[in-house]
Amino acid sequence: MSNYHIKHLEEYFQVYRKSIREPENFWEEVAEEHFLWRKKWDSVLDWDFAKPEVTWFKGAKLNITENCIDRHLATRANKTAILFEPNNPNEPSEKITYEQLYKRVNKFANVLKKQGIKKGDRVCIYLPMIPELAISVLACARIGAIHSVVFAGFSATALTTRINDCDCQMVITSDGSYRGAKTIDLKSIVDEALKSCPGVKTVLVAKRIHSKITMKTGRDYWLQPLLDEASSDCNAEIMDAEDPLFILYTSGSTGKPKGMVHTTAGYMVYTAYTFKNVFQYKESDVYWCTADVGWITGHSYIIYGPLANGATTLMFEGVPSYPDFGRFWEIVQKHKVTQFYTAPTAIRALAKEGVELIEKHDLSSLKVLGSVGEPINEEAWHWYNDNVGKKKSPIVDTWWQTETGGIMITPIPFVTPTKPTYATLPFIGIQPALMDENGQEIKGNQVEGRLCIKFPWPSIARTIWGNHERYRETYFSAYKNNYFTGDGALRDEVGYYRITGRVDDVIIVSGHNLGTAPIEDAINEHPAVAESAIVGFPHDIKGNALYGYVILKDVGETRNHDNLRKEINQIITEHIGPIAKLDKIQFTSGLPKTRSGKIMRRILRKIACKETANLGDTSTLLNPEVVNEIIENAL
């Protein structure tokens, strides 16, 4: 018997030990007992982090949608699978049962087929948080097409890059989207993006805001009439365990985003198993993750993990501040939400509004609170625990990444005693290690280092689309035979982990992973800019905000600096999206550089954080004199 559901601490330790001592037996039992396979595997795990190569359940055949939908029909046909809460609170919410989901996914899958999409083809999905988003994701999986969801807050340029990187043939979008009181013309962003995407043959357009849009004949089709004609039966494509399920882009330390490739069987097993335990999910629960499906959190814990468990998963189209900051609590009350999973940045924004809006609502349905995306600071943790959880709903601070596919370090609620700001213990099967600067593992407790994972887990990303060497270089070259996360962490006296933040050139702003390089590349496109460097600095709500140091080509530039600042942020918005805008822009005559020409971000970071008392040794710099100038003009 596998331990699919862990209920107390002793059991956690016992199962954890088994998962480490006999990983293959452990995962084989989980896979065998809780999923639907068309054919079982020939081997459970084959791996070599040096290559790097990881294969789980080699030889197995399955379709993930049969696991997420079909197999529930016998017992849960009329249970709500997706509970859709629209942006506008006066618009009725929508309950999609498992049976309805089955039909809608199959119809959509048939539309894709009719448009010539086959197994292995890439389909870009650029949609707001409406049911069609989840349905189109599942429809791709139904026929074995590889979905690449692009968050609908990304700009046209960012969309172009992502469409072309993996040669998408089709884009699925909507006329527009609602975001609080605003509407966004998604279709016109797609039109702009597609000017440079010769490979896209078809665009399917869902109607959401009923705006006037232009449709290109022979390329663009309204979705609904095609769905109306399609059959609601579609045989699931039988997939290999290691066939790619999706690509999801994440920023990195060079300008080009990394298309992380997740495969089918291991991803399914791990997201389902973590979902069950990390949220202590029970049959009648109503689970809500506030993330967007455009991020990995939405893929794994709005769609695949919950549906694989036959859960009811809530999808919210809107924002926490509309029509007021009580919206989240209103939704919790209205749908009697039992698990609520959000990001520290949202918690901080809501905390700023005080507790009155909470007190107006009945939150007594809540059992488990989740946090994800960035370290949760102590104040936010207590506010969440005291006011939302009333000190009785444990907070699961879940650490993981786009690359890990599923939750890696986390408490199990009612099992692991929580500790503010600590993600606590590794999940079942996860073997973390802390490394020193010389690449040696730091053993024992009360230590701090760089966080690696020593052993494969089922949902590790298998490669970067089209660039396996970059995958090796980014994750497997810094520490031999280890996956390097890019994060720093400490381990306390009992072995609990606390994630201290990124140690590379990635900055987490409002829970969004932003590489400095793509932002700098965008700024440098401005005709007046010679060079730039971005660092993060602490921000009350966003966690981190961006500080840009910019060298103008004409140092004596007479134009108004405020206008230049606006133009720079405009370029960033066009190239990446508004999430990457800079809070502060300082113009400078130079940037501190090492003799080999590398920008010393450490110094820039300290200045941005107003920690100038201890800048360390600057004498070895190529241009030490510039440091004083920067300090004097710091914003």
**Contacting residues toward ligand WT7, per CB under 6 A:** 250, 295-297, 371-375, 397-402, 423, 485-487, 499, 502, 508, 513
Backbone angles phi, psi at 334, to 5 degrees: -60, -45
Shortest spacing between CB 198 and ligand WT7, in angstroms: 30
How far apart are CB 409 and ligand WT7 at their closest, in Å?
A: 8
Closest-CA residue to 372 (of 338, 341, 411)? 341
Tell me how far apart the alpha carbons of residues 548 and 601 are, in angstroms, rounded to a whole number: 11
Nearer to ligand WT7, 315 or 509 (CB): 509
Q: Which is nearer to ligand WT7, 318 or 486 (CB)?
A: 486
Residue pair 606/612 in contact (Cβ under 8 Å)? The answer is yes
Min dist CB 240 to ligand WT7, Å, is 26
| The pairing of beta strand 239-240 with beta strand 61-62 | antiparallel
Distance (Å, rounded) from C-alpha 335 to C-alpha 365? Answer: 9
- Angstrom CA distances, 109 to 101, 106, 172, 241, 436, stand at 12, 5, 13, 20, 49
* Identity at 90, one-letter amino acid code: N
The nearer residue to ligand WT7, 276 or 502, going by C-beta atoms, is 502
Smallest distance, ligand WT7 to C-beta of residue 343, A: 8
Look at the block and give the residue holding tokens 């009612």.
414
* Least distance between ligand WT7 and beta carbon 407 (Å): 8
**Least distance between ligand WT7 and beta carbon 388 (Å):** 17
The residues near 202 (Cβ < 8 Å, ≥ 6 apart) are 115, 116, 169, 170, 171, 219, 220, 221
- Residue 266 backbone dihedrals phi, psi, to 5 degrees: -60, -40
Least distance between ligand WT7 and beta carbon 583 (Å): 20
To ligand WT7, the closest distance from the beta carbon of 151 in angstroms equals: 10
Nearer to ligand WT7, 197 or 507 (CB): 507
585 strand-pairing partners: 548
Token readout for 206 is 């869902």
Strands (DSSP E) along 52-193, which ranges?
53-58, 61-62, 80-85, 94-97, 122-125, 146-149, 170-174, 177-179, 182-184
CB of 76 to ligand WT7, least distance (A): 28
Q: Across-strand partners of 221?
A: 204
**What is the residue type of 395?**
I
Of 86 and 306, the one with the shorter C-beta distance to ligand WT7 is 306
Nearer to ligand WT7, 296 or 522 (CB): 296
330 within 8 A of 361, measured Cβ to Cβ? yes
Q: What would the 3-class secondary structure string for 560-597 be? A: CHHHHHHHHHHHHHHHCCHHHCCCEEEECCCCCECCCC
Residue closer to ligand WT7 by CB (options 62, 308) is 308
Given the complex with ligand WT7, which of 517 and 622 has the nearer CB atom?
517
296 vs 591, beta carbon nearer ligand WT7: 296
Respond yes or no on whether the N-terminal peptide bond of residue 131 is cis (omega within 30° of 0).
no
Structure tokens at 250: 């994440």
CA proximity to 300, closest of 370, 395, 376, 402 = 402
Q: Which is nearer to ligand WT7, 183 or 431 (CB)?
A: 431
- Residue 172: beta bridge partners? 125, 204
Three-class secondary structure of residue 393 per DSSP: coil
How far is the first Cα of the chain from the last one, in angstroms, to the nearest whole number? Answer: 61
- Nearest approach in angstroms of CB 440 to ligand WT7 is 22
Q: To which H or E segment does residue 369 belong?
A: strand 368-372
The tokens 């089922």 sit on which residue? 458
Q: Are the CB atoms for 55 and 47 separated by under 8 Å? A: yes
Provide the phi-psi class of 563: left if phi over 0, else alpha when psi is between -120 and 50, else beta: alpha
Q: From the CB of 411, what's the least distance to ligand WT7, in Å?
A: 11
With respect to ligand WT7, which residue has the nearer C-beta, 148 or 169?
148
Minimal distance in Å, beta carbon 376 to ligand WT7? Answer: 7
Smallest gap, in angstroms, from Cβ of residue 299 to ligand WT7? 10
Nearer to ligand WT7, 310 or 518 (CB): 518
- Minimum gap (Å) between residue 396 Cβ and ligand WT7: 9
- Residue 291: what residue type? A
Nearer to ligand WT7, 429 or 486 (CB): 486
Q: Decide whether 110 or 410 has the Cβ nearer to ligand WT7.
A: 410
